[in-house]
Amino acid sequence: MTDNLNPCVSCGACCACFRVSFYWAEADDAGGCVPVGLTEPLNLFLRCLQGTNSKTPRCIALRGEIGHDVSCRIDENRPGPCHEFFISGEQGEWNEACDRARAKYGLAPLFTPMLPGITESYVSQGASITPYHVQLPDRQNGSH
């Protein structure tokens, strides 16, 4: 058995957190590749994947248990927003939406962004960093 280093296969939180809307022509009945039977219309120009346009979204194409073992049953035929959504930390870039979706399901963030020129000096001084803020050391005499 080969280890898969892609954290998406043990996550799936984004597929159960956001509406996946896309231009209608991405569906296979209009020449695209997204199976039209898994979509629903939003308006004249947009469709979404079934299950994602609800108060508690979960894409109809998502298989498995979030945070454990998941897959997309239309992986090769996903719409543009799915292809464009990137894993937080991919190529050193923070994706706040990825980490926010993970947090919704109690999963740890994948990436903590570094703030150039600031973070490095504060980390060396013992500052704590999370994806949402940097807790700076107290300053004396109210100086800025």
pLDDT tens digits, one per residue of 76-124: 999 999 999 999 888 888 999 999 999 999 999 988 776 565 444 444 5
Asked if residue 138 and residue 82 are part of one domain, the reply reads no
Could you give the percent of the chain with pLDDT greater than 70? 75
Kindly tell me the number of DSSP H helices and DSSP E strands found in the chain. Answer: 3, 7
Residue 1 has pLDDT above 70, yes or no: no
Q: What are the pLDDT digits (tens) for 26-56?
A: 999 999 999 999 999 999 999 999 999 999 9
Asked if residue 39 and residue 87 are part of one domain, the reply reads yes
Residue 53 inside a domain? The answer is yes
For residue 118, give every residue at least 6 positions away whose Cβ sits within 8 Å of its Cβ, in sequence order, or none. Answer: 134
User: For the chain, what is the domain count?
Assistant: 2
Residue 89 and residue 97: Cα distance in Å, rounded? 12
Residue 143's pLDDT is: 41
Please state the length of the chain.
144
Query: Which residue matches tokens 């962004």?
Result: 113
Residue 38 and residue 25: Cα distance in Å, rounded? 14
Asked if residue 31 and residue 66 are part of one domain, the reply reads yes
Asked if residue 116 and residue 86 are part of one domain, the reply reads no
Asked if residue 139 and residue 100 are part of one domain, the reply reads no
Residue 42 inside a domain? The answer is yes
57: containing domain: 7-104
